[in-house]
Amino acid sequence: MTVTLKDIAAVAGVSHSTVSRALNGNPMIPPETAVRIRKIADELGYVPNTIASGLRRTHSKVLGVLVRRIDDAFLAEVLQGIEDVLYAEGYGLFLATSRRKPEREQAIFRSMSERRVDGVIVCSTEVSQEHLHQLSKFGVPTVLINNQAAIEMAHSVTHDDMSGGLALTRHLIELGHSRIAYLGHSRTGRITRDRLAGYKEALNQAGLPYRAEYVAAGPNGSAEGGAMGMEKLLKVDVRPTAVVCFNDMMAIGAMHALRQAGFGVPEDCSVTGFDNIPLSQYVNPPLTTFHQPRYELGTEAAEMMLRLLSRKHKNLNAAETIALRGRLVVRESSGPPPDGTRNGQ
C-alpha cells in the first residue's frame, strides 16, 4: 500500500540505500542520479516514514511541551511562541496539559519518555524536582518557563516578577496613593511571592508602612478569584485606595467586585493587573498593568532548547537562566486617590 524506499529502488534500478542517500542529499550520490531518484519518489508519492527513521537515528525531532492548561490567555501565547520557532526549525510539538493534577503530570512525563521526545519544555506548572530528575536521567533535556519553585541546576526562562511588582506599586505611589493593597493568588508559589516582594520593596523605598491586612489572596488566578479576594479587602477597616492584583484576570474580577459594591474605578480605588493580556485594554476602564513578554518567553525557551540539543555533548549540568523584562503599561484603571487620602491616611 504505502510506498517505501524499496519501491523507489526497484523502479530506479538501484538499492534502497542509494535512494535513502539520494533523498537525504548525501554528497556520495552524484547530482544527476539524485534528481532522477527524487523525481521517481515524487511520482510514486513517497512520504518518508519519520517513525522508522527516528528508530534508526537517535532523535525524533519532536519536542514535548507540558503546560498547565491551554485555555489560558497567557499560556496560549507562550505556546504560540514555542510553536513558531519549532515549526521554523522543522521540529514537531507534542502537547499535553497537566491541569494541576500531579498524577496526570506524572503520566505525561512517562508518555513523553516513551515517545522519545528530544526534549521537553515545561511551562508554568508546579513541577517537582524528582520528575525533572527522572527525565534528565533519560538524557532528556528540559527547559522551564516561569517555574514556580526555583529548581536547581535547570535551564529556565523567566520574567522578572519582582521588578513588575515594584514598577506597578511605585506607579501608584507616584499617583499619590499610600493605602495600597496586594491581591495575590494562594495557589502559586514563587511568582506571587516575587511580585509581593516587589510591592514591599516599593513601599519600603517610599517610606510607606507595610500592613499585613492589606495583603489578601484569592483562591485561584481567575476573575472569580479576584472578585473573592477583593471582597475580603473591602472588609478591612480603612479601605485601600489602590490594589495591585496578581494578574489581569484577577484585576478584572476585582474591578467587578468593586462595581458591585458601588465603588468606581479609579475614582474610589485604583486597580492594576499583571500580564497585559490582550483583553486588558478592552475592559472598562482599560487596565493599567505590567506587560509580560509572553510570546518571547515561548520563543526564548524554544531557542534555548534547540541550542541545548545542538550541542550534542550534553553538558546538561551547566544551568542557564534567562530573565526577560516586562514594562509598565499605564491605562485608565489607575488614577489619583480620592480626595482626603492623598497624604497619609
Answer yes or no whether residue 24 interacts with DNA by CB under 7 A.
yes
The string of DSSP codes covering 24-59 is TT-TTS-HHHHHHHHHHHHHHT----HHHHHHHSS-
Does residue number 73 form part of the binding site for a copy of itself (CB under 8 A)? yes
Cis, bond preceding 286 (omega within 30 deg of 0):
no
The answer to whether 54 contacts a copy of itself (rule: CB under 8 A) is: yes
Whose Cβ is closer to a copy of itself: residue 137's or residue 235's?
A: 137
Q: Which of the listed partners (DNA, a copy of itself, none) does 60 bind, with a CB threshold of 5 to 8 Å by partner kind?
A: a copy of itself
Rule CB under 8 A: say whether 79 interacts with a copy of itself. yes
Taking residues 84 to 113 in sequence order and writing x for each that binds a copy of itself by CB under 8 A, - otherwise, the string is x--x----xxxxxx-x----x--xx-xx-x
Q: How far apart are CA 101 and CA 220, in angstroms?
A: 15
Asked whether the CA dihedral 313, 143, 93, 87 is positive or negative, the reply is negative
CA distance 104 to 86: 25
By CB under 7 A, residue 23 contacts DNA? yes
The SS3 assignment for 317 reads: coil
Instruction: Give 300's DSSP letter.
Output: H
Number of residues that bind a copy of itself (CB under 8 A): 55
Residues 206 to 225: which contact a copy of itself by CB under 8 A?
223
* Interface size with DNA, residues (CB under 7 A): 27
CA distances from 321 to 13, 24, 124, 251, 256 (A): 54, 36, 15, 29, 37
Is 35 a residue that touches DNA (CB under 7 A)? no
- Number of helices (H), then strands (E), in the chain: 12, 12
Q: Is 16 in the site for DNA (CB under 7 A)?
A: yes
Task: Please enumerate in sequence order all residues whose Cβ is within 8 A of that of 112, keeping only pairs 6 or more positions apart, or say none.
Answer: 64, 66, 94, 96, 120, 135, 140
**For a copy of itself, the closer CB: 116 or 232:** 116
The answer for residues whose C-beta is within 8 angstroms of residue 132's C-beta and 6 or more apart is: 122, 142, 144, 151, 154
Taking residues 42 to 81 in sequence order and writing x for each that binds DNA by CB under 7 A, - otherwise, the string is: ----x-xx--xx-xxx------------------------
* DSSP β-bridge partners for residue 123: 67, 145
CA distance 247 to 131: 28
The answer to whether residue 14 forms part of the interface with DNA (CB under 7 A) is: yes
Over its C-alpha atoms, the chain yields an Rg (Å, rounded) of: 26
For DNA, the binding residues in 202-221 under the rule CB under 7 A are: none
79 binds, among DNA, a copy of itself, none (CB under 5 to 8 A by kind): a copy of itself
> Contact positions toward DNA, by CB under 7 A?
2, 4-6, 9, 13-18, 20-21, 23-24, 28-30, 33, 46, 48-49, 52-53, 55-57
> Contact positions toward a copy of itself, by CB under 8 A?
1-2, 45, 47-52, 54-55, 60, 62, 69-73, 76-77, 79-80, 83-84, 87, 92-97, 99, 104, 107-108, 110-111, 113-116, 137-139, 223, 252-253, 256, 259, 278-279, 282-285
